Amino acid sequence: MITLDASCLIAHFERADPHHDQASAIMEIPASGELQIHTINSAEVLVGGVRGGRVNQMLAAIQKLGVVTVPPIDDEALRLAELRYSTGLKLPGCCALLAAMTNGQTLATFDQTLAEAGRHKGLQVLGHGQPN
């Protein structure tokens, strides 16, 4: 299971993004149903679709990729608060990190700070620092 940070899906959908090719390669790694995203990170991605009037196309493309939304966990608010405090990450980064820690063991991100936090937590990190 690969947990996607918003930066990966955004790069995949934006051909002009410098990480586009690498993000698209990450989307091809797993079998269907093995890509996941936290609700907050999904909302970050959808902002561009809402702004550009293409949110329905974006939702369909996310579904076609087989990306599933991570279900909330019972103590999620507390665990996010602890991660926010211990890592200094902004809340969306904490959401991706918690999802990977809980359900994935692999985190895909182009955010250097999030990648470092993921490695510190023992996660495999795809994206940042990986060859194209």
Query: pLDDT per residue over 113-129, tens digit each?
Result: 999 999 999 999 999 75
Instruction: Retrieve residue 111's tokens.
Output: 């955010």
Q: Beta-strand (E) ranges in the chain?
A: 2-4, 35-37, 67-69, 106-109, 124-127
Query: pLDDT per residue over 26-77, tens digit each?
Result: 998 866 558 999 999 999 999 999 999 999 999 999 999 999 999 999 999 9
Interval 16-21 mean pLDDT? 96
pLDDT of residue 68: 93
Q: Which residue has the tokens 């608010």?
A: 77
Query: Is the model's pLDDT at 81 over the cut of 80?
Result: yes
Whether the Cβ atoms of residue 97 and residue 105 lie closer than 8 Å to each other: no
* CA distance from start to end of the chain: 21
pLDDT of residue 28: 87
Domains of the chain, with CATH numbers? 2-127 (3.40.50.1010)
Instruction: List Cα–Cα distances, 119 to 33, 98, 123, in angstroms.
Output: 24, 13, 5
Please give the Cα distance from 113 to 47 (Å, whole number): 22
Interval 86-99 mean pLDDT? 97
**DSSP 8-state secondary structure symbol assigned to residue 9:** H
pLDDT of residue 131: 40
